[in-house]
Chain A
Amino acid sequence: MALECERMFVSAQSILHVDMDAFFASVEQARRPELRGRPVIVGGPPGTRSVVATASYEARAFGVRTAMPTARAQQLCPQAVFLRGDLAAYAAVHERLVGLFRLFTDRVQVVSIDEAYLDVSGCRRLFGPPRAIACRIQELVYDREGITCSVGIGSGKLLARLASELARPAGLGELTDADVCGRLRELPVRDLLGVGAVTEARLAALGITTVALLQDAALPLLSAAFGSGAYALKQLAFGRSLASPVRSRRRLPKSLGKEVTFDEDTADGDRLRATLLRLVDHAMTRLRAKGLAARTVTLKLRYSTFHTITRRTTLPHATGATQPVYGAAVGLLDHVALDGRLVRLLGVSLGDLHARSFQLTLDDVWKETSLDEAVDRIRARYGTASIGRAGAALVSSALLPARREAG
């Protein structure tokens, strides 16, 4: 009975999953007509160690895939146009698209720059059935931005996402509850949202490769391999996700931090402070990008012995400004008696996060805010490494390999 009720409840939902087709490449083709119909690859230049961010469908025909090294992409598709990418432009399109989705419902969950879930359950009387809304969205996206999107309709996020996956590019798909026992069964387990490479491999070890096999698998068999996650996994096979419904309002993260492991352990105070400035600077840029302000600052320090200490302080006000946070962090660092001990790792974490409504001040912090904003704008356009604080430059990038930074 409980299950029956749950199903009725779930069926009442109409979720759309809107996925932009080859988003970055499409935006480039839309604003540069000469690129239309040609293979376009957005990513770093082929000579470097960069990877493909997006490949247009013309390029995909040659086997080019997202996250493939651009060098490999060039081998596969030498005639492709390689573009560095213009994140600011893509973000602007994204903003407009989200605004467009919000015309239909306020329950929009933005998953990433090129996909979103829309809960249109309550919109039938205003805009018609989900399929009509999906068509209208595809038309509007094409009219306004000149790019195409795939829309999946389902009674839950998982089915909607699967439906859009099956419909791309530029398609419209729907997976009904009837499909759960039909079409869905034909698919490989990997197509299920929530089944990644690891789960796929562990299922394969049990001989489970398709959704049908997962649907029919005995729960005890799954429990042996997946423990308490077995039930959730089996629910996935029926297109039911235990995950939350469409969340229109993002929850605030609890904290946000950045840390770095030194290539060589150090006890040099100047170097620690300069590194700290860099960490704070970058963490604050991320914080501001999320529209947040922080009130607590936590310093983390790991000695070469792996003994780890943390020190925390609370600011008078939540702030999004770099300077007061750095001041607090340095204060914490200066209070730690290193006594010549070598430091292996240094980290800073910002807590007690608030939506970015931060108290402005009458003096220097006000100027500082303008400075911070300018830095963020430059970074959004030219990348994080394009601008930094002079103090942080004491530590050259060579000393701090970016690969080892935990973000």
Chain B
Amino acid sequence: MKFTCDREALVDKLLVLSRGVSTRGTLPVLSGILLQARDGRLEMCSTDLELSMKAVVPAEIERPGDVVVPARLFSDIVRNLPVAGVTVELGQGDEASGSVVVTGGSARFELNAWTATDFPQTSSFDLTGSIAVSRVPFLATLAKVARAASRDDNRPILTGVLVSVEPTGLRMVATDSYRLAVKQTTLSDGPQAEVEAIVPVKALNEVARLASGIESESIAVVISENQAVFGLGDLVIATRLIDGQFPNYRQLLPESFEHVVELDREMFLAVVRRVGLLAQKNAPLRLRFVPPTEDQPAQLVVRAITQDIGQARETLDIEYSGEELEIGFNHLYLVDGIESVDEEKLALQLITPLRPGLISGIRDGDPGTDFLYLIMPIRLSG
């Protein structure tokens, strides 16, 4: 194998792929990047066995071939070469001996490498039959739910986002069992296909990160039985899907609520952030809804107490006519929910202090249904 390519183009893609390598695993070859030189181009792959990425760089192929180079070192070398042209060559004669020579100008590096057959091919990166999903709505939808997905590997199913693509639109659902986010986006040019899968949030976050920089207006998506493939221009990301039954979110949404409180998004967010400073160590943020009296309007009193640290309190005037109610929430979950609302006004709907609350934006005077953020309270100690 021998090829020459542009240093900047190579560095660019190496940076992307380096994020996908696995350095902690038991398979050392996973800390490498597979180089495949053929047909006038260089294809590079990385994988941690769950998430795989492929990037293509134009190259002048002198001799086709494959090899796996250590990702970190190879990237550092290429980045530091003195000239724009990079030549990579696998020791001639004995292709299996695994020694790669990288040259640029008069600089010459010789690196131990792995043979390509050691590299697990987890995906074919095949985009045949893909459906095109508009990029901007896809990313916007994902941004609303991604934070609600679980990071706790003890319940793998919750580390995924339920993604449904239909001709009319796109829906994503995520929950870590403490809160649940549902975002429904209408697509004017929806794909003529219907697919649904539980995609690891880690892969989706990677897709979002890389897709924000591409020129194409759409993302190519293929969902097969056990993996999802996303085409982002000259980058392809493949991920295994999460097997199992995603919680039935429709069942978790209460049929009706006792109280609907309208709040100014910015103001409420600022109060929750401020008072939340004293809700450390999982201490709850206490929201007390007080009906109006003769001398004062209805109020929302937000309080937080952290044992041995201190306490905070702030009051907001609200419209509220129900009975006095105090409910506790994790302030970080609350912030995530409020931030995901686009509208200026939001509705916080409640039943009792031990039942879930629902946050949604207010559109045309009514709580919207395209984004729903269900949040479980913290039981207060009294």
Contact = CB atoms under 8 A, between A and B. Distances in A.
Q: A and B: real partners?
A: yes
Between A316, A327, A362, A366, the greatest number of chain B beta carbons within 10 A of the residue's beta carbon is seen for A362
13 contacts: A252-B307, A291-B382, A295-B282, A317-B282, A355-B381, A356-B379, A356-B381, A357-B283, A358-B379, A360-B377, A360-B378, A361-B376, A362-B356
B307 A355 contact: yes
B177 A354 contact: no
B178 interface: yes
B175 A362 contact: yes
A363 B247 contact: yes
Interface string B275-290: 0000001111000000
Contact of B177 (A318, A327, A357, A365): A365
Interface of B: 152, 154, 175, 177-180, 247, 252, 281-284, 307, 328, 330, 354, 356, 374, 376-382
Contacts of A357: 283-284, 328, 378-381
A248 interface: no
A298 to B, nearest CB: 18
Given A291-B381, A317-B178, A365-B177, A359 B281 contact: no
A327 to B, nearest CB: 8
Contacts of A252: 307
B281 A363 contact: no
Contacts of A366: 376
A366 B378 CA distance: 11
A354 B252 CA distance: 28
Contact of B152 (A316, A358, A359, A365): A316
Nearest to A295: B282
A404 to B, nearest CB: 34
A113 to B, nearest CB: 19
Contacts of A317: 178, 282
Nearest to B150: A316
Contacts of A363: 177, 247, 252
Contacts of B382: 291
A317 B177 CA distance: 12
A362 B376 contact: yes
Nearest to A327: B154
Nearest to A369: B379
Q: Which residue among B178, B281, B330 has the maximum number of chain A CB atoms within 10 Å of its CB?
A: B178
Nearest to B305: A355
A359 B252 contact: no
Contacts, number: 55
Interface string A293-320: 0010000000000000000000011100
B369 to A, nearest CB: 19
A98 B281 CA distance: 30
A295 B154 CA distance: 16
Nearest to B286: A357
* Chain A to chain B: the 7 pairs with minimum beta-carbon distance, closest first: A361-B177, A355-B381, A360-B376, A357-B284, A356-B381, A357-B378, A357-B381
B307 A362 contact: no
Given A356-B381, A357-B328, A362 B374 contact: yes
Given A358-B379, A362-B376, 6 more contacts: A291-B381, A327-B154, A354-B281, A356-B379, A359-B330, A360-B378
A248 B184 CA distance: 51
Nearest to A361: B177
B221 to A, nearest CB: 28
- Count chain B CB atoms within 10 A of each CB in A359, A365, A366 and give the residue with the most: A359
A216 B356 CA distance: 66
A360 B352 CA distance: 13
Nearest to A292: B381
A362 B178 contact: yes
Nearest to A352: B281
B381 A362 contact: no
Contacts of B175: 362
A360 B247 contact: no
Given A317-B282, A357-B328, A362 B379 contact: no
B375 to A, nearest CB: 9
A315 B345 CA distance: 35
A359 B307 contact: no
B198 to A, nearest CB: 16
Contacts of B380: 357
Nearest to B281: A354
Contacts of A316: 152
Contacts of A365: 177
B282 to A, nearest CB: 6
Contacts of B177: 361-363, 365
A327 B155 CA distance: 12
Contacts of A354: 281-283, 307
A283 B354 CA distance: 24
A366 B251 CA distance: 14
Contacts of A355: 307, 381
Contact of B180 (A356, A359, A362): A362
Nearest to A324: B154
Contacts of A358: 378-379
B287 to A, nearest CB: 13
Contacts of A356: 379, 381
A360 B354 contact: yes
Contacts of B180: 362
Interface string A221-247: 000000000000000000000000000
Contacts of B154: 327
Contacts of B328: 357
